[in-house]
Amino acid sequence: MKPFTYERADSPAAAAAAAARNPGSRFIAGGTNLLDLMKLQIETPPHLVDVTGLKLDRIDKTDDGGLRIGALVRNTDLAADDRVRRDYGVLSRALLAGASGQLRNMATTAGNLLQRTRCPYFYDTNMPCNKRTPGSGCSAIGGYSRQLAVVGSSGSCIATHPSDMAVAMRALDAMVETVRSDGSTRTIPIADFHRLPGETPHIDTNLAPAELITAVTLPKPLGGKHIYKKVRDRASYAFALISVAAVIGKDGKGRVTIGGVAHKPWRVDAADAQLPQGAKATAQALFADAKPTKDNAYKIPLVERTLGVVLAQAGAKS
Amino acid sequence: MASELEITRRGVLAGGAATAAMATTNPARAQMTNQTTPPPTVPVTLDVNGTSHTLNLDTRTSLLDALREHIKLTGTKKGCDQGQCGACTVLVDGKRINSCLTLAVMQQGKRIQTVEGLGTPDSLHPMQAAFVKHDGYQCGYCTPGQICSAVAVIAEIRAGIPSHVTPDLTAKPQLADAEIRERMSGNICRCGAYSNIVEAITEVAGAKA
Amino acid sequence: MKFDTPATTNPIDQLKIVGKPVDRIDGPLKTTGTASYAYERHDVAANPAYGHILGSAIAKGRIASIDTREAIAAPGVLAVVTAQNAGALMKGDFNTAKLLAGPEVQHYHQAVALVVAETFEQARAAAGLIKVDYTRADGAYDLEKAKSSATKPKDMDGDAPDSKVGDFASAFAAAPVQIDATYHTPDVSHAMMEPHASIAAWKGDELSLWTSNQMIDWGRGDVAKTLGIPKDKVHLSSPYIGGGFGGKLFVRSDAILAALGARAAKRPVKVALQRALVANNTTHRPATIQRVRIGASRDGKITAIAHENWSGDLPGGGPDSSVQQTRMLYAAPNRMTATRLAVLDLPESNAMRAPGEATGHMALEVAMDEMAEKLGMDPVQFRILNDSQVVPDDNGKTDRPFSQRQLVECLRQGADTFGWTGRNAKPAQRREGDWLIGMGVASAYRGAPTQKSGARVRLDGSGMVTVETDMTDIGTGSYTIIAQTAAEMMGVPLDKVVVKLGDTAYPVSAGSGGQWGAASSTAGVYAACTKLREAVATKLGFSTADVTFADGKVSSAGRSVALGEAAGPGGLVAEDTMEFGDLSEKYQHSTFGAHFVEVAVDMHTCEVRLRRMLAVCAAGRILNPKSARSQVIGAMTMGAGAALMEELAVDNRFGFFVNHDLAGYEVPVHADIPHQDVVFLDETDPTVSPMKAKGVGELGICGVAAAVANAIYNATGVRVREYPITLDKLISQMPALV
């Protein structure tokens, strides 16, 4: 971990301004991913802006009947919120499927969205990695790729996004609210928040430098069956091999987002449209452009089989 | 679908005839300019097991290292230093966290409880006594983290916080084996004392119910 | 004391304390965080500096140049140790690769430098400032590819690598029912929770190391050899060890580099391996390729059995002795085993819990399941039918008896307890909701070796008994069973015994390895206590013929004296070493068991979850059923990991284990492990030691993974011969979804 200076911010705009004053700085709240990466010198910010005092830890109703989740709401608290459990079960389930009790007590809503990949080559600074060191190459391609992306990847990067929460939020069409260093705010649809790797895998999201997430809003409750099914080797405390977040209506229509298969939560409009036709048709639409490796090709039939059981649980055609 | 070979060609070429000199790609070097400047330090006051400790710490000091190296409370263990084992579990304001993944400076003013704050060899906390009785440990290295977690798990279930295995999200979770196993899964025990640990926790939870 | 005739009745047979499930005496310390592990010894070395190891970025080649100037100039840095300034270093007898690379690099993450600084944070940061230019050389990393170049090693853990009885080839060819299957087991990591750690301090030419090491005397010798100093100038202390499983049998880079760092910085230095280094910097259990062939008559009698194993290691290393149990378990007139070793440039292969048998059962016991099915026999009955009461293949000889062999009883009792008759012999028949349910069984075999072991016992004027031995407790319960032994021998309650372990100041013991620790170290304590009893009796003028030690008193011919009084204010001390004669040559000393497992396999996602686990063990006298049971459930858990998830993934291009942290290398968590049952059969073995005990901590892992594999087959009809059995290996063959 390289030395850094540290300050506590007292308002979101002040935090963004502080970050802008110190190029390369990072916001810290839960710290569960950032500090790990800093210890390994994968992240080397010269300055940390502690945002835990910003009082962004409330969950409020929005005017249109949705929920506004403060950026600093801890994963445990979000999962346990009565309104989330009742109206957005897929989100609660996704959160509870992630990490451990200790980590969920630390990790925040914004930090969860900003998790970096768990690709083992990204984590090993001796290895070429375009995400960590642009232009150095991708060691995962042709390497150990069992956990890595099957779709939306590029010749530069086959990393996956590790979050469970973001997968559910993508299914819910959440919106990410931010503030920039000049005090201006904007709202980014979650679909546009995370990026595909392309030739710039080192850029995970469309946030500008020093832009701070202040909240995530959920639209008014969708109804339907909320299911989050995570598939992994060990029974808990493991990243997803694949996961399925689904909200399915009685008519079999709905939306589905897949985790563990791409650089971002993977949702395809054409696949949502196929849901009433069942798992096979949906999976075909999800993976029309898939480029699996020998070691991770299993993810495609696995998603199809998992979609089948999810649709069956929802009482829809599987 | 593109073939894997095709992707491989565009990716890194390694091994084979790669006998050329290779420099490590450690990013640390590139930006290091003024490395002889002493690292920033900050005054920090930590409330640990009811005792206040005022320290002047390198900003990089984790809560775990502050406890182990500065306050010399070594009951909290370093197993991985990256949130992947749970040996460093402590309670902060009553909630369990991995002390390796937070900076000491960020815990200013919080109420920190470590395994030493639960009980002593002569006056064991009920959870500690149950671990001894049920042999819920072997090498002992993960044990303080398991015990801190176990105390918090019972409180979390009682507080109605759901888990991955809670059958009905809108109902109160039960003190069932499956709940305990799921919630304790952030504490790895390589010696494999899990079966006994669950029995210890179940006994303590039952006694308090 | 020499143990060369079978034990008769002795004070241990009173079983007032030995054999009782007493709580561990170190429990209150371990559960309160007051047992101090190596890195935590603030009491022994004032103001230590912090060392941080830089591991090699390449697997094989040379360090072309190393530039430490920036690191040396960094804040707080006191010294940087590399091969260039470390002075001449030898290689320890127990190491295959050197512990400090340079200029040659032998494996990935081999240490290339140690940075010593005032603080941990400074040392870690400065390690990132070292610039190393490597010249990469081609290496061999793929066992499958290297298999054809494998050669016959000098030996296999002291045994002959090959064995032969009768004429396997002809008998197998003639057998009406045959199995010929090849199994793969991956490289796996000990992944103990406490990373290797040491504090080093020099006083003149004497080195003290507070470290985490299973074998104190081996460690002392190898530290001395590596540094080129006399053995008696090296002191090791290792009272608590946060898990070892074989990974701390040997001196590793933390100890040597702490010593070198302390010499360079002229300060005590503490070093712990960062977790990311543990997999590649230290040792691991090697991957194996195993071919098993079994030929049988139609009525299920094995006529021919062969087991061949291939594994790899660095030049000068050794093979995995996976064929070992196949020489011991089942009768067959025609048999052969063979062990071949390939050179691989991966990190050093070495012992891990039940080396050999742990992997060997993963092949043999699945082959037995496959054969039983082919024969249409119940797999429990098939094993029972082929039991042997003599060693089936004792390097070509076949008439040596086992001192005890209750394999059949283990299988029978296990089947009864587990409800084995409820198993449907036809796979993929039992379904509960989305789950396919199956049961599996495997036999368990592990040797019961003994090793010379010494102890010193002190009796003070207050009647307290203090045992000192360099034996270690790696979670095995050594503290407690040694205390029980001394209490039983001296006739005092457990709380009158203090046990001091893991220090070169104490007599050399067997140490913790090879499942010999419990039987050997308690025998050493028995020997020392026997001598102390004689000293007490002699001092009191008591006849040693009728003297008794009970209730804190020593009595003879109507006279009774309190122990403390007998010792007097100066106390009494006795020291002895138990040495073992040739009984283990007259009798094969072994432990046996049977594992039963029930799994559920999600018919959609193919995830495997364990539902029930049972082990039945016959392992001599169980000195403490509570801690012995823990050894077995822990081993069952590690076996479950081997079956279902554990694999060090090899990158064949770069030559390293990619998943080198505890998120990438998954070991079982709480949610993976159901309630576990363990049954110990009544057994005392007077030919092993006066304690009549054997070990059990390694037996417990033998066969577990095979039982899981067999249960998965029973649940799904899918036979996977490549561990770990992850869902991607099941998915293409799963029964059709209904």
Task: Provide the 8-state DSSP code for B137.
Answer: -
Rounded Cα gap, residues C602 and A134, in angstroms: 41
Q: How far is C663 from chain A (nearest CA, A)?
A: 7
Could you identify the residue written with the tokens 């499956």? B178
Rounded Cα gap, residues C430 and C424, in angstroms: 8
Nearest-CB residue to B59 (from A5, A102, A125): A5
CATH code (residue B189):
1.10.150.120
Closest residue, chain B, to C700 (C-alpha): B192
Contact flag B79-C667 (C-beta cutoff 8 Å):
no
Nearest-CB residue to C23 (from B84, B132, B182): B132
B152 part of a folded domain: yes
Pick the last residue of a domain from B117, B133, B151: B117
Rounded Cα gap, residues B93 and B107, in angstroms: 10
Whether residues B49 and B129 share a domain: the answer is no
Whether residues B126 and B202 share a domain: the answer is yes
- Whole-number pLDDT of residue B207: 66
The full set of domains in chain A, from first to last, is 5-53 (3.30.43.10), 225-314 (3.30.390.50)
**Contact between residue C2 and residue C581 where contact means Cβ atoms under 8 Å apart:** yes
B157 part of a folded domain: yes
Residues of C in contact with B22 (CB under 8 A): 57-58, 133-136
C190 part of a folded domain: no
Task: Provide the 8-state DSSP code for C226.
Answer: H
> For the residues B103-120, what does the mean pLDDT come to?
98
B19 part of a folded domain: no
- Whole-number pLDDT of residue C121: 98
Kind plus residue range of the DSSP H or E element containing C561: strand C559-562
Contact flag C605-A236 (C-beta cutoff 8 Å):
no
Closest residue, chain B, to C130 (C-alpha): B29
Instruction: Say which of C348, C647, C683, C698 is annotated catalytic.
Output: C698
Whether residues B87 and B143 share a domain: the answer is no
> For the residues C79-94, what does the mean pLDDT come to?
97
> For the residues C99-123, what does the mean pLDDT come to?
98
C386 part of a folded domain: no
Contact flag A236-C658 (C-beta cutoff 8 Å):
no
Helix intervals (H) in C436-592:
478-490, 517-540, 563-567, 583-586
**Contact between residue C219 and residue C198 where contact means Cβ atoms under 8 Å apart:** no
> For the residues C35-63, what does the mean pLDDT come to?
97
Contact flag B89-A102 (C-beta cutoff 8 Å):
yes
Residue C658, chain A, CB below 8 Å: the answer is yes
C118 belongs to the catalytic site? no
Pick the last residue of a domain from B117, B147, B163: B117
Contact flag C731-A238 (C-beta cutoff 8 Å):
no
Closest residue, chain C, to B17 (C-alpha): C138
> For the residues C29-56, what does the mean pLDDT come to?
97
Residues of C in contact with A306 (CB under 8 A): 604-605
Comparing CA positions, the residue from C481, C658, C195, C159 lying closest to residue A129 is C658
Whether residues B194 and B140 share a domain: the answer is yes
Q: How far is A237 from chain C (nearest CA, A)?
A: 8
Q: Which two tokens stand for residue C3?
A: 């143990």
Q: Are strands C269-272 and C49-55 parallel, antiparallel or unpaired?
A: parallel
Residue C57, chain A, CB below 8 Å: the answer is yes
Q: How many domains does chain B have?
A: 2
C457 part of a folded domain: yes
C64 part of a folded domain: no
Whether residues B105 and B128 share a domain: the answer is no
Cα B202 to chain centroid distance, Å, stands at: 22
> For the residues C526-552, what does the mean pLDDT come to?
96
Residue A155, chain B, CB below 8 Å: the answer is yes
B5 part of a folded domain: no
| Amino acid (1-letter code) at residue A40 | L
Q: How far is C477 from chain B (nearest CA, A)?
A: 7
Contact flag C634-B120 (C-beta cutoff 8 Å):
no
C519 part of a folded domain: yes
- Report the first-to-last Cα separation within chain C, whole angstroms: 68
**Contact between residue A200 and residue A231 where contact means Cβ atoms under 8 Å apart:** no
Contact flag A85-B8 (C-beta cutoff 8 Å):
no
Q: How far is B23 from chain A (nearest CA, A)?
A: 9
Whether residues B77 and B125 share a domain: the answer is no
Q: How far is C121 from chain A (nearest CA, A)?
A: 7
Residue A41 has pLDDT above 80, yes or no: yes
Q: How far is B139 from chain A (nearest CA, A)?
A: 22
Q: Sign of the C-alpha dihedral, residues C79, C81, C86, C89?
A: positive
Task: Provide the 8-state DSSP code for C502.
Answer: S
pLDDT band of A316, cuts 50, 70, 90: confident
**Contact between residue A46 and residue A57 where contact means Cβ atoms under 8 Å apart:** no
- What is the dihedral angle through the alpha carbons of A21, A25, A29, A31, rounded to the nearest 10 degrees? -170
Closest residue, chain B, to C663 (C-alpha): B84
C332 part of a folded domain: no
Residues of B in contact with C134 (CB under 8 A): 21-24
Domain residues for C547? 2-31+451-582
Q: How many domains does chain C have?
A: 1
Each residue's pLDDT tens digit, B3-22: 343 333 333 444 333 333 33
Each residue's pLDDT tens digit, A248-277: 998 999 999 999 999 999 999 999 999 999
Nearest-CB residue to B26 (from A38, A41, A155): A41
Rounded Cα gap, residues A151 and A167, in angstroms: 15
Select from B22, B138, B165, B201 the residue whose CB has the most chain C CBs within 10 Å, as the one to mutate to test that interface: B138
Select from C277, C670, C701 the residue whose CB has the most chain B CBs within 10 Å, as the one to mutate to test that interface: C670
Q: Are strands C77-82 and C111-117 parallel, antiparallel or unpaired?
A: antiparallel
Whether residues B208 and B137 share a domain: the answer is yes
Q: Which two tokens stand for residue B107?
A: 């815990």
Closest residue, chain A, to C434 (C-alpha): A309
Q: Which two tokens stand for residue C476?
A: 């095995």
Whether residues B59 and B74 share a domain: the answer is yes
**Contact between residue A155 and residue A89 where contact means Cβ atoms under 8 Å apart:** no
Closest residue, chain C, to B114 (C-alpha): C33
Average pLDDT of chain C to the nearest whole number: 97
Closest residue, chain B, to A42 (C-alpha): B27
Rounded Cα gap, residues A279 and A312, in angstroms: 10
Residue C732 has pLDDT above 90, yes or no: yes
Select from C658, C659, C738 the residue whose CB has the most chain A CBs within 10 Å, as the one to mutate to test that interface: C658
CATH code (residue C490):
3.30.365.10
B34 part of a folded domain: no
- Whole-number pLDDT of residue C737: 73
Comparing CA positions, the residue from C128, B59, B63, B26 lying closest to residue A3 is B59
Residues of B in contact with A4 (CB under 8 A): 40, 59-60
Nearest-CB residue to A125 (from B10, B25, B185): B25
Whether residues B152 and B77 share a domain: the answer is no
Comparing CA positions, the residue from C347, C283, C274 lying closest to residue C114 is C274
Q: Which two tokens stand for residue B176?
A: 């069932």
C710 part of a folded domain: no
Whether residues B171 and B149 share a domain: the answer is yes
Helix intervals (H) in C345-394:
357-375, 379-385
Contact flag B137-C475 (C-beta cutoff 8 Å):
yes
Rounded Cα gap, residues C35 and B20, in angstroms: 50
Chains near B (3 or more Cβ pairs under 8 Å): A, C
Task: Provide the 8-state DSSP code for B12.
Answer: -
> For the residues B14-32, what does the mean pLDDT come to?
37
Q: Which two tokens stand for residue C284?
A: 């691991």
Whether residues B77 and B123 share a domain: the answer is no
Each residue's pLDDT tens digit, A202-237: 999 999 999 999 999 999 999 999 999 999 999 999
Kind plus residue range of the DSSP H or E element containing A216: strand A212-218
- Whole-number pLDDT of residue C544: 82
CATH code (residue B77):
3.10.20.30
Count of B-C CB contacts under 8 Å: 263
Select from A34, A102, A231, A232 the residue whose CB has the most chain B CBs within 10 Å, as the one to mutate to test that interface: A102
Rounded Cα gap, residues C670 and B164, in angstroms: 13
Rounded Cα gap, residues C302 and C295, in angstroms: 6
- Whole-number pLDDT of residue A57: 97
Select from B106, B177, B183 the residue whose CB has the most chain A CBs within 10 Å, as the one to mutate to test that interface: B106
Pick the last residue of a domain from B117, B145, B179: B117
Residues of A in contact with C737 (CB under 8 A): 305, 308
Q: How far is A219 from chain C (nearest CA, A)?
A: 31
Domain residues for B146? 119-209
Contact flag C658-A144 (C-beta cutoff 8 Å):
yes
C576 part of a folded domain: yes
B17 part of a folded domain: no
Residue B29 has pLDDT above 50, yes or no: no
Q: How far is C655 from chain B (nearest CA, A)?
A: 8
Each residue's pLDDT tens digit, A57-109: 999 999 999 999 999 999 999 999 999 999 999 999 999 999 999 999 999 99
Whether residues B72 and B97 share a domain: the answer is yes
